Structure formats: C-alpha cells, structure tokens
Copies of this chain bind each other. A is one copy, B any other.
Amino acid sequence: MFKLRLLATVLIVAPYVLMTSASAWDVLPTTAPAPADNPTTEEKVELGKMLYHDPRLSSTGTVSCSSCHNTMLGGEDNRANSMGVNGQTGGRSAPTVWNSAFNAVQFWDGRAPSLEAQAAGPVTNPIEMGMKDWDAVVARLKTIKGYNQAFATAFGDNSVSKENATKAIAAYERTLITPNSPYDQYVSGDKTALTEQQVRGMNKVAELGCTSCHSGAAFNGAGAFQTFPIHENAYFSAQYHFKKDKGLAEVTKNEADEGLWKVPTLRNIALTAPYFHNGSVKTLEEAIKIMGKLQLDKDLSKEEVADIEAFLEGLTGQFPKQTMPTLPPTLGNTVN
C-alpha cells in the first residue's frame, strides 16, 4: 500500500508535468506492452479468452469476467453497479476492459498494480464471482479436460494454477485495444475525421485543463491518482453521493487518501454510461457538467458541454472482430 500512496502523492504534486505531456495529443498504440514475466503469446491469449468468457469461474456458473466487462459492448455492462452471483450488487460501476492494458494501475481505487493482479480479484469476491478461494477455482478447472490441455499448450504440462490463469486473462486483455478512433485519425493527419464541433470540443478540453489529469494516449493519466470531487457542491452531493465511497482510502485506511481515485480513461466513454465510480450519473452530458463544476469549479455553458460531448464521441475506437471462444466442456457431469 505504501507504494500506491507514494505513486499517488508524486502524481498529485506534479500536475503541470502531466499537462505538458497531454498537449501532445497522442495516438492510441495498436499493441500494449507486456510485463517481462508474462510475455504475450497466442496460446495464452486463446486460453485467456476462454477463461474470460467462462461463467464456470463463478460459484453459481452464471457470471464470467465478460458479464460485467462485456467484450461485445463497450467493455462493461451499462449498469450503475454490476450484478454478481445470486443477484448481488456492489457500490461501484464496472470500468471498461477495453484499453485497460494502458492503465498503469487497475480498479477504480488503483489497488491492483497490473492486469494480472486485477484478474485475481473478482473471482473470489463474494458479491462478484463468489468462488470460495483460488484453490476451489483451480480444482474446478482441473476437472475440465480441455482446460488442462489449454494450460499445457500455453504454459507447459500440469500448469493449471491461479498464477497462470490470471496471466492468461491478462494476456487476452492486452489484446483488447480499440485504435483508430476519429480522434486518432484526426491526430494522425486526417483533418476531416473530426467535425468542427468536435475540434472545438478538443481544444476546449485542453484549454479547460481536463487533459491535465486525463492525459496521454488513453486519456487516463498513465496511473495518476486524483482527488474527486475537489470542489464542494451541495446540489451534486445531494444528487449523486460521490463522497460516500472514499476511494483509495477504503484500501489504505489512510485519511489522506480519502477521495483519491485512479484517473479513468476517456476512450469509448460515449459507450460506457452510466458514469463515475458509483455509476450514479446517467448521461455523458451531465457527467461533463459535473466534472466542470466539481473539478474545475466552472459552470460550463450548454455549448461548451455539447462541444466536449461531441469530442468525447470522437474517442470511440474501432473494435477488433473476435472469434467466439468454444469453452471446453464439463464432460458428462456438472461443476457445481
């Protein structure tokens, strides 16, 4: 946790550095770097895709990673709070899996330092996928012949384990990239790719300082933590209860971390309503107004909001065509 807070502190005291780098208008890379101990291979990606879409990784056999982080949609579920096993809901909104490879840390509170670490969490969260523990997950996977084979192909014989399962899922997630949005095309030189209104919106987000935090190619501050909300507003507080959830402090139990959040990506944001960590805001328009008021202390005009919304729609990328995985069967028996 100390490392996390250190990172947060460094990034909070250095907003000007981030602002500079943001003005570069970076194009989204088409590939994501993999950590040294988990180089991406086709076999891992294929296995990870199966695991990611397999509801048998949940206690009830009804919830897969994709149930809440839906790869057929904008990488999440368009719900305020996701629904886990037995109809349970938590207090946070599912972040998109698309381009999550470009987040330096994962989860709203950034408590996971990698995709690998993130993938281990929801499976054994009692209100998400509800498995008792990873031993139970591994035991179940071992009963499925096809998984033993797929792990063997990806990692070598007898390699079904928590470590390899999460490595495979992370390897698959690193392929979930949506390049070539109208914004990327524009920045790459096609000046017709964005409308005039979108270009006005683009200049506005830089001018207002949105990109101080939402910086970099993924507009996610590359691991920056920020306070939200910065400014008090009685109306929005009454409506949306943003401060009920204390963000990073829920993990660190440190008062100084209250209200600190990982900067979420703006990529594909037009597809991922509702908004904010608690999913309390239904429209992108309202989300923009709120960010203006609570982060910048500005009442954005109707036109400014419309321009910014138009620009954000220009951040919707191209989704790669994927083959549906054929999940290895539970032969002649059930898993639960």
**Chain A interface (Cβ within 8 Å of chain B)?**
53-56, 60-62, 67, 70-74, 77-80, 83, 85-88, 270-271, 273-274, 282-285, 309, 313, 316, 319, 321-327, 329-336
Report Cα–Cα, A326/B70, bound state, in Å.
10
Report Cα–Cα, A85/B324, bound state, in Å.
24
Chain B residue at minimum C-beta to C-beta distance from A54: B72
- Chain B residues lying within 8 Å of A271, measured Cβ to Cβ, are 329-331
Q: Does A78 contact B330, Cβ atoms closer than 8 Å?
A: yes
Say how far A234's CB is from chain B's closest CB, in angstroms: 25
- Chain B residues lying within 8 Å of A326, measured Cβ to Cβ, are 72, 319, 321
Chain B residue at minimum C-beta to C-beta distance from A332: B284
Say how far A303's CB is from chain B's closest CB, in angstroms: 17
Say how far A31's CB is from chain B's closest CB, in angstroms: 20
Q: Does A332 contact B270, Cβ atoms closer than 8 Å?
A: yes
Residue from the list B56, B323, B332, B334 in contact with A322, Cβ < 8 A: B323
- Chain B residues lying within 8 Å of A319, measured Cβ to Cβ, are 326
Given A60-B83, A73-B327, 20 new contacts (CB under 8 A): A53-B72, A55-B70, A56-B78, A61-B78, A67-B67, A72-B326, A73-B329, A74-B329, A78-B330, A78-B334, A83-B86, A85-B87, A87-B87, A273-B330, A282-B334, A285-B332, A313-B331, A322-B323, A322-B324, A323-B324
Report Cα–Cα, A79/B332, bound state, in Å.
12
Chain B residue at minimum C-beta to C-beta distance from A53: B72
- Chain B residues lying within 8 Å of A62, measured Cβ to Cβ, are 67, 77, 79, 83
Residue from the list B321, B327, B332 in contact with A323, Cβ < 8 A: B321
- With A61-B79, A72-B53, A88-B87 as known contacts, state yes or no: A270 contacts B327, CB within 8 Å: no
- Chain B residues lying within 8 Å of A329, measured Cβ to Cβ, are 73-74, 270-271, 316
- Chain B residues lying within 8 Å of A86, measured Cβ to Cβ, are 83, 87
Q: What are 30 A-B pairs with beta-carbon distances under 8 A?
A: A61-B78, A61-B79, A62-B67, A62-B79, A70-B327, A71-B324, A72-B324, A72-B327, A73-B329, A78-B335, A79-B334, A79-B336, A80-B334, A87-B88, A270-B329, A270-B331, A270-B332, A271-B330, A273-B330, A273-B332, A273-B334, A282-B333, A282-B334, A309-B332, A313-B332, A319-B326, A321-B324, A322-B323, A323-B323, A323-B324
- Chain B residues lying within 8 Å of A78, measured Cβ to Cβ, are 56, 61, 330, 334-335
- Chain B residues lying within 8 Å of A79, measured Cβ to Cβ, are 60-62, 334, 336
